[in-house]
Amino acid sequence: MHYLLFYEKVTDYAERQTPTLQEAHLAHLLTAVRSGALLLGGVLDSPRDGTALLLFRSDSARPVESFAETDPYVLAGVVFRWHVRGWDTVVGPTAERPRPHS
């Protein structure tokens, strides 16, 4: 199943994201990418308010929650709130439950 991880960053996130912290966060992301769990991730635009969205493929929400709980941005307080939602994908080449073409 697909899962979406929503991140909300603190207002002064740009000042808090030091180069060392950014490197640690990126390493955390790339580990999840290499494992095949994290498919896409990035910040939302218009407005660019520090909200980020990450798309995972997993058998349950727990690995996604564990990812967030151990993310350097969460641990350092750059991300002040996060939540995970299951996404029942039905259309597209990587949909988990593809519907027949009409």
In a domain, 17, yes or no: yes
The Cα–Cα gap between 45 and 16 comes to 20
> Which domain range does residue 9 map to?
2-87
Q: Say if 50 falls within a structural domain.
A: yes
Domains in the chain: how many in total? 1
In a domain, 97, yes or no: no
In this prediction, residue 62 has a pLDDT band, given cuts at 50, 70 and 90, of very high
Asked if residue 94 is part of any domain, the answer here is no
pLDDT level of residue 100 (50, 70, 90 thresholds):
confident
Query: 92 lies in a domain?
Result: no
Predicted local distance difference test score (pLDDT) of residue 40: 97
CA distance 2 to 87: 5
3-state SS class at 43:
strand
- The closest of 21, 15, 2 to 74, measured between CA atoms, is 21
For 15-59, write each residue's pLDDT tens digit: 999 999 999 999 999 999 999 999 999 999 999 899 999 999 999
Residue 102 lies in a domain: no
Tokens of 64: 């996604």
> Taking a C-beta distance cutoff of 8 angstroms, is the pair 82, 7 a contact?
yes
CATH value at residue 34: 3.30.70.1060
State whether the Cα torsion 10-63-83-88 is positive or negative: positive
Say if 93 falls within a structural domain. Answer: no
43 located within any domain: yes
Q: What is the distance between the alpha carbons of residues 64 and 72, in angstroms, rounded to a whole number?
A: 14
